[in-house]
Amino acid sequence: MSSQTILRPSTPIDTTRFRLRPLTMADFDDVHAYYCRADVARYLYWNACTPEETRAYLARNVARTAIENDDDGLVYAVVPHDTGRVVGQVTLRLASREHRQGEVGFILHPDHHGRGYATEAATVMLDLGFGELGLHRIEGRCDARNTGSARVLERLGMRREAHLRAKRAGHLGRVELRQPRLRNLLPDRGQLRVEVRPGAGGRSSSCGWPG
Ligand X SMILES: CC(C)(COP(=O)(O)OP(=O)(O)OC[C@H]1O[C@@H](n2cnc3c(N)ncnc32)[C@H](O)[C@@H]1OP(=O)(O)O)[C@@H](O)C(=O)NCCC(=O)NCCS
Site string for ligand X, 72-111 (x = CB under 6 A): ---------------------------------xxxx---
Applying CB under 6 A, does 208 fall inside the site for ligand X? yes
Applying CB under 6 A, does 114 fall inside the site for ligand X? yes
User: Which C-beta is closer to ligand X: that of 5 or that of 127?
Assistant: 127
Select from 77, 118, 135, 162 the one that contacts ligand X (CB under 6 A): 118
- φ and ψ at 93, to 5 degrees? -120, 140
Q: CB count, 10 Å around CB of 87?
A: 24
The b/e string for 56-65 (b: 16+ C-beta within 10 A; e otherwise) is ebbeebbebb
Applying CB under 6 A, does 157 fall inside the site for ligand X? no
User: Which C-beta is closer to ligand X: that of 5 or that of 119?
Assistant: 119
Minimum distance from CB of 158 to ligand X (Å)? Answer: 12
Q: CB count, 10 Å around CB of 175?
A: 21
- Quick one: which of 121, 91, 128, 88 has its CA closest to 107? 88
Applying CB under 6 A, does 152 fall inside the site for ligand X? yes
Applying CB under 6 A, does 15 fall inside the site for ligand X? no
**For ligand X, how many residues bind (rule: CB under 6 A)?**
22
Q: Distance between CA atoms of 192 and 180, rounded to whole angstroms?
A: 8
DSSP letter for 80, please: E
Residues 23-52 that bind ligand X (CB under 6 A): 40, 43-44
Select from 8, 81, 113, 159 the one that contacts ligand X (CB under 6 A): 113
Select from 65, 101, 146, 179 the one that contacts ligand X (CB under 6 A): 146
Q: CB count, 10 Å around CB of 112?
A: 17
Across-strand partners of 12? none
Applying CB under 6 A, does 57 fall inside the site for ligand X? no
DSSP letter for 74, please: E
Select from 87, 149, 158, 200 the one that contacts ligand X (CB under 6 A): 149
Across-strand partners of 4? none
Is the torsion defined by CA of 1, 138, 75, 207 positive or negative? Answer: negative
Minimum distance from CB of 202 to ligand X (Å)? Answer: 15
- 3-state SS class at 127: helix
Footprint of ligand X on this chain (CB under 6 A)? 40, 43-44, 105-108, 113-119, 142, 146, 148-149, 151-152, 207-208
